[in-house]
Amino acid sequence: MNNLDGKVALVTGAGSGIGEAAALALGKAGAIVVAMSRTAEEVEETAKTIRDAGGQAKAMTADTSDDAAMKALVEGLIAEFGRLDIVVANAGINGMWAPIDDLTPEEWDKTISVNLRGTYLTIHHAVPHLKKAGGGSIIIISSINGTRTFTNPGATAYSVTKAGQVAMAQQLAVELGEHRIRVNAICPGAIESEISDNTEARNTAEAEVPVEFPEGDIPLTGGEPGKAEDVADLVLFLASDGSRHITGSPIWIDGAQSLLR
């Protein structure tokens, strides 16, 4: 069911965390993986790991919020591989978390640019080639934040982008259905990854509302966060024919964490 032989997949933010795990899973299933990131060293390592395991992969670098860079990346991908079937729009940042009257327009714009504009540009440049391929799967990595959970103080910009990604998936599922292009959004909870490394926080105590959560606030795992590979398995399912009638769906993968918050 998860055989992706002959399919070409683009994974953004593939240098670490969920993106890396998704790229490795797709490569193991037989897809030709274009692993993309802004950091060449990390993404080269991802591609090498896939190739060392007997798969096919190419590393490419670009800033997803840069229109010209994303256009060139997709054109280069098509020139080399001739088609595109799967898109995993994963690249994103947590950005600055601060009270709304403290959050600067520049900080707001950066989070919106990377998370929402970056997702838009990835899909914008990919869709014509998915249409030419006769269909495909777009998988957007969103979050429980902004979709089920609103308890992180100061996370307004981040939450808005994550909610926007779900709305984008649902809107595009309708628009692209006639082209046999499925669009879904994965909403992870706490996952062992490096995204917290690009989180900045300032004066968040001003926006915090004290809440007492149950002990071990991830019921399925006794409070332990999920692994990037857990999300990668869901990416693989949504990329495969096993999910052929699933589109426009936000899927929460959080061990029931968001149901407590």
pLDDT in tens, 216-255: 678 888 889 999 999 999 999 999 999 999 999 999 999 9
- Across the chain, what does the average pLDDT equal? 93
Residue 117 lies in a domain: yes
Instruction: Write down the catalytic residue from 97, 158, 237, 252.
Output: 158
Please calculate the CA angle 133-241-75 and round it to the nearest 5 degrees. Answer: 30
Name which residue leads in pLDDT, 199 or 98.
98
209 pLDDT above the threshold of 70: no
Express as a percent the part of the chain with pLDDT over 70: 90
Residue 222 confidence (pLDDT): 86
Assigned domain for 149 exists:
yes
In degrees and rounded to multiples of 5, residue 168 shows phi and psi of -60, -45
pLDDT category of residue 185 using cuts at 50, 70 and 90? very high
Q: Span 97-104, mean pLDDT?
A: 95
Can you give the residue range of the structural domain that contains 47? Answer: 8-259
| pLDDT of 86 above 90 | yes
Q: Which residues contact 229 (CB under 8 A, 6 or more apart)?
A: 21, 25
Tell me: pLDDT of 212 over 70: no
From CA 52, how far away is CA 50, in angstroms rounded?
5
Q: What is the pLDDT of residues 56-66, one digit of tens each?
A: 999 999 999 99
The answer to whether residue 3 sits within a structural domain is: no
Residue 2 belongs to some domain of the structure: no
H or E stretch covering 28:
helix 17-28
Q: How far apart are CA 190 and CA 139, in angstroms?
A: 19
Q: Is residue 1 part of a domain?
A: no
Residue 158 is a catalytic residue: yes
- Cβ neighbors of 175 (< 8 A, separation 6 or more) are none
- Burial of 215: CB neighbours in 10 Å, binned 0-12, 13-18, 19+: exposed
The string of pLDDT tens digits covering residues 125-139 is 999 999 999 999 999
pLDDT band at 198 (very low <50, low <70, confident <90, very high): low
Cβ atoms within 10 Å, residue 41: 10
Q: At residue 194, does pLDDT exceed 80?
A: no
What percentage of the chain carries pLDDT values higher than 90? 83
Burial group, residue 211, by CB count within 10 angstroms (0-12, 13-18, 19+): exposed
Question: How many structural domains compose the chain?
Answer: 1
Interstrand relation of 95-97 and 199-201 (parallel, antiparallel or unpaired): parallel
Closest CA to 249 of 198, 188, 173, 189: 173
Give the domain CATH number at 209: 3.40.50.720
3-class secondary structure, 67? helix
pLDDT of 191 above 60: yes
